[in-house]
Amino acid sequence: MIKGPAIFLAQFIDKKKPFNSLDGLCKWAASLGYKAIQIPTWETKLIDLDKASKSQSYCDELKAKVASFGLEISELSTHLQGQLVAVHPAYDLLFSGFGPRELKDKPKRRTKWAITQVKKALSASKLLGLKAHATFSGALMWHMVYPWPQRPKGLVQMGFSELAKRWLPILNHASEVGVDLCYELHPGEDLHDGITFEKFLRACKNHKRLKILYDPSHFVLQQMDYLSFIDHYHAYIKMFHVKDAEFNPNGKSGVYGGYQEWKDRPGRFRSLGDGEIDFGGVFSKLTQYGFKGWAVLEWECCLKSSQQGAEEGASFIKSQIISTSTKSFDDFSGDNSSIQINKKILGI
C-alpha cells in the first residue's frame, strides 16, 4: 500500500513563521493532515547535513523532533546539489546560486563539492533509516536537446559516459550505505525521459542503486504517456512526487513555450486536481506493481497559492491511496479445490 500523504518542503520555505523553521513547518504540515515530510538538504534551517552524515545521535534527535509532531521523514533531497554535479558552461552563471558563494566562479571545485554533498546526504539517509534519496542528474547536453545544429557522431555517447563518470562514485557510495539514488526525470536535466534514463543506465553498467523518482507532471509537459511509463519502468520507480500539470497547445506556441512566463505557457504546472493528470490511473498502476513508497506532494502552481495548494493536497492524496484487497472479489462464488477436483473438471 502506498504511504501518504507526505509533502516536499522546498517550495514552502519562507522568512515568515511558521515556514522559517523545522518546528514551524512540521506543526503546519501535521495540521493539514500530512504524515511525512521530504526534506531539502540545502536548507540549513531544516537539517545540518554535515552532522547528519556522520552522527547517529543527531539523526535520532532529528527523527524524534519530527515524530513529536506525528510525522515521519519520507526522504531527503539533493536536487540543487545534484544539478551541480554536471553543469554545461552556458548555464554556469544561472546555476551558480545553487552552491556556496565562494565557489561561484570555480566550476570544477563546485562539482567536487556537489559530489561530496550528495554522498553526505546518502550517508545521512542511512542513519535516518531511509531507503531512497531524491536528486537531479545535472546536464551536459541539454543545449543539444533539439537536433539542430546537427550533433556530431559520438557526442551523445560521450556525454552520457562523462555523466556516468561523475555519478558512479556516488552510486557506489549509495550501494555502501544501502540507499537507492532516485533521479527525478526533468526537462533541463540530461535524464528527462525514459530513453535518456536507459542511456544513463547503460553508461553506469546497470548499477543496482540507479532508480527513478516518478513525477508525471514533467511527462505531460513533454507530451509523453505517463501511465505507459509506469508499465515500462515500474521496477525502477522508488519515489513518487504527486504534482499536477496541463498542456493546452494553441496556434502560437506548444511544447517549447515561446519563452513565456509559466502562467502563459501551453504546458504549465497546476495544484492537485486542477490539471489533467489521471491520478486514479497513476495510483492504480503503482499499486498494481507493488509500489510501497510515499506519495509526496510537490506543490508548483502558477495560479493557486501555496497555502491553498497544500491544504487541498493532503486530502487529495489521501483520497487516491488504494488499500489493497486481501481477497478476490469473486471468492463468494468459489469452492474448495484439490488436485483431484481439478482433474475431474479437466476430464483427465
- Positive or negative torsion for Cα 76, 238, 66, 35: positive
Q: Above 80 in pLDDT, residue 61?
A: yes
Residue 122 grid coordinates:
546518502
Q: Residues 51, 238, 119, CA angle at the centre, nearest 5°?
A: 30
Q: Which of 198, 214, 218 is nearest to 206 (CA)?
A: 198
Instruction: Count the alpha carbons within 13 Å of 323 in the hemisphere toward its beta carbon.
Output: 3
Q: Which of 314, 223, 206 is nearest to 266 (CA)?
A: 223
Mind listing the pLDDT tens digit for each residue in 257-271?
999 999 999 999 999
- pLDDT-above-90 percentage for the chain: 96
Assigned fold of 3-346: TIM Barrel (3.20.20)
Question: Quick one: pLDDT at residue 254?
Answer: 97
Measure the CA–CA gap between 314 and 318, rounded to whole angstroms: 6
Mind listing the pLDDT tens digit for each residue in 220-230?
999 999 999 99
Whole-prediction pTM value? 0.95
Question: Quick one: pLDDT at residue 337?
Answer: 81
Mind listing the pLDDT tens digit for each residue in 7-25?
999 999 999 999 999 999 9
Measure the CA–CA gap between 179 and 189, rounded to whole angstroms: 22
Instruction: Locate the domains of the chain by residue range.
Output: 3-346
Q: Please, which residues have CB within 8 angstroms of residue 122's CB and are 6 or more apart in sequence? A: 133, 170, 173, 174, 177, 179, 181
Q: Which of 234, 233, 138, 123 is nearest to 179 (CA)?
A: 123
Mind listing the pLDDT tens digit for each residue in 79-128?
999 999 999 999 999 999 999 999 999 999 999 999 999 999 999 999 99
pLDDT band per the 50, 70, 90 thresholds, residue 330: low
Q: Above 90 in pLDDT, residue 325?
A: no
Question: Quick one: pLDDT at residue 333?
Answer: 62
Measure the CA–CA gap between 237 and 210, rounded to whole angstroms: 10
Q: Give the mean model confidence (pLDDT) for residues 132-143.
A: 98
Q: Which residues of 215-241 are buried (b: 16+ CB within 10 A; e: fewer)?
A: bbbbbbbeebebeebbeebbebbbbbb
Crossing angle between the packed helical segments 155-177 and 107-127, to the nearest 10 degrees: 30
Q: Above 90 in pLDDT, residue 46?
A: yes
Measure the CA–CA gap between 26 and 323, rounded to whole angstroms: 26
Mind listing the pLDDT tens digit for each residue in 163-206?
999 999 999 999 999 999 999 999 999 999 999 999 999 999 99
Question: Quick one: pLDDT at residue 132?
Answer: 98
Q: Give the mean model confidence (pLDDT) for residues 302-313.
A: 97
pLDDT band per the 50, 70, 90 thresholds, residue 328: low
Question: Quick one: pLDDT at residue 187?
Answer: 97
pLDDT, averaged across the chain: 96
Residue 88 grid coordinates:
554545461
Q: Is residue 166 a contact partner of residue 111, using CB atoms and an 8 Å limit?
A: yes
Q: Please, which residues have CB within 8 angstroms of residue 106's CB and are 6 or more apart in sequence? A: none
Question: Quick one: pLDDT at residue 332?
Answer: 62
Question: Quick one: pLDDT at residue 107?
Answer: 96
Q: Above 80 in pLDDT, residue 56?
A: yes
Question: Quick one: pLDDT at residue 57?
Answer: 98
Measure the CA–CA gap between 100 and 103, rounded to whole angstroms: 6
pLDDT band per the 50, 70, 90 thresholds, residue 324: confident
